[in-house]
Amino acid sequence: MEKITEIAKTILMRNMNLSDGENILIVCDTGMKEIADLFYRAGTALRHETVLMVMEPRSRSGEEPPETVAEAMKRADVVLCITQHSLTHTNARKKASEAGARVATMPGITVDMFSEGAITADCSEIERLTDHFCRILDQGSEVKIIKGQTRLTFSIEGRKSLKSTGIFRKRGESGNLPSGESYIAPLEDSANGTILVDGSIAGIGVLSRPITLSIKNGKLEGASGPEGKKLMELLGPGKGRILAEFGIGTNKKARLSGNVLEDEKVFGTVHIAFGSNKPFGGTNEAGVHIDCVILNPEVWVDDQKLVLK
């Protein structure tokens, strides 16, 4: 564990840009306390005021943490969210960022991910690729994803993309760690068509077989197979089924493992998500956010085909 604590120190200094006099808040749930303790030790070893808050696990990604945690997040300089389910797309994270905290969310991170896969990627390459795809998204108005015989289209007109590079230098910056994605909130009622998902789904893992999603006027209306049924249950019957996100993986070291924190960063994949998107430029609040990873699709932004190899 000493080696991992040293890696945690490096992450705090390199990725979080920890500066003299800054304090650190580590938010975890009971299932992730072992890894959170490593970052707590790293923070104190670096002689920074470090606080560890432990809560009960949330039931799904996008569910808000307790108000006590949310308030503490707004008062910290650096926040690490080391939880089973993601706090990335919550109002608590958004308000912490607005207050100036640099926030890294690390849902489901494992000890293995500290030394293998996405965390080992070239940060400058991730920044370059992420910036490249964000520029394309910002200039575009419509996205089309083709996978096999399925096709899904939606509008991104007027929406601004976000960069998640895993490097947080400025006040208010936030994202996943490890990271590597360009993402955007589509217009909530604009998606139509079907799409084959053959990678993984948050809360389900690597799929045993591809599932087909049917989307009409922005809302998921059907999903094939047992894992499709589970997806529908995770999202619930209401606003959780609204298409919330389109993302492009930009990390060439990321691996498909069933952990969506790393899966959605794999270069050559894209992902769509359902549920909340208000924290990153949309209008939907659902208390849930579930990502679905698609391997090696054909993607067009207006008349430009994206190069994902």
Look at residue 287 and tell me whether its pLDDT is greater than 90. yes
Q: What is the phi-psi region of residue 42: left when phi exceeds 0, alpha when psi lies from -120 to 50, beta otherwise?
A: alpha
Distance between CA atoms of residues 259 and 17, nearest Å: 26
User: What is the structure's pLDDT at 114?
Assistant: 80
Whether 1 shows a pLDDT value over 80: the answer reads no
123 versus 133: which is more confidently predicted?
Answer: 133
pLDDT at 3: 84
Residue range(s) of every CATH 3.40.1830.10 domain in the chain = 2-115
What are the CA-CA distances from residue 273 to residues 14, 20, 26, 186, 291 (Å)? 29, 38, 26, 10, 4
Residue 137 in contact with residue 168, Cβ under 8 Å?
no
Per-residue pLDDT band at 260 (split at 50, 70, 90): very high
Q: What is the mean pLDDT of residues 256-265?
A: 95
Task: Please determine, for residue 309, whether its predicted confidence score (pLDDT) is greater than 90.
Answer: no
Question: Is the pLDDT at 134 greater than 90, yes or no?
Answer: yes
SS (H, E, C) the chain: CHHHHHHHHHHHHHHCCCCCCCCEEEEEEHHHHHHHHHHHHHHHHCCCCEEEEEECCCCCCCCCCCHHHHHHHHCCCEEEEECCCCCCCCHHHHHHHHCCCEEEECCCCCCHHHCCHHHHCCHHHHHHHHHHHHHHHHHCCEEEEEECCEEEEEECCCCCCEEECCCCCCCCCEEECCCCEEEECCCCCCCEEEEEECCEECCCEECCCCEEEEEECCEEEEECHHHHHHHHHHHCCCHHHEEEEEEEECECCCCCCCCHHHHCCECCEEEEEEECCHHHCCCCCCCCEEEEEEECCEEEECCEECCCC
pLDDT at 4: 86
**Which pTM does this prediction carry?**
0.89
Q: What is the pLDDT of residue 189?
A: 98
| Distance, CA of 75 to CA of 153 (rounded, Å) | 41
- The pLDDT value recorded for residue 116 is 87
* Averaged pLDDT, 106-126: 90
pLDDT tens across 204-234, in order?
Answer: 999 999 999 999 999 999 999 999 999 999 9
pLDDT at 246: 98
Give the pLDDT confidence score for residue 111 in this predicted structure: 86
Q: Which residues pair with 222 in a beta bridge?
A: 214
- State residue 2's pLDDT score: 81
> Per-residue b/e over 35-59, b at no fewer than 16 CB within 10 Å?
bbbbbbbbbeeeebebebbeeeebe
pLDDT digits (tens, 9 = 90+) for 297-306: 999 999 999 9
CATH (one of 3.40.1830.10, 1.10.1040.10, 3.40.50.800, 3.30.1050.10) for 2-115: 3.40.1830.10
Q: Where does the pLDDT of residue 294 fall: very low under 50, low under 70, confident under 90, or very high at 90 and above?
A: very high
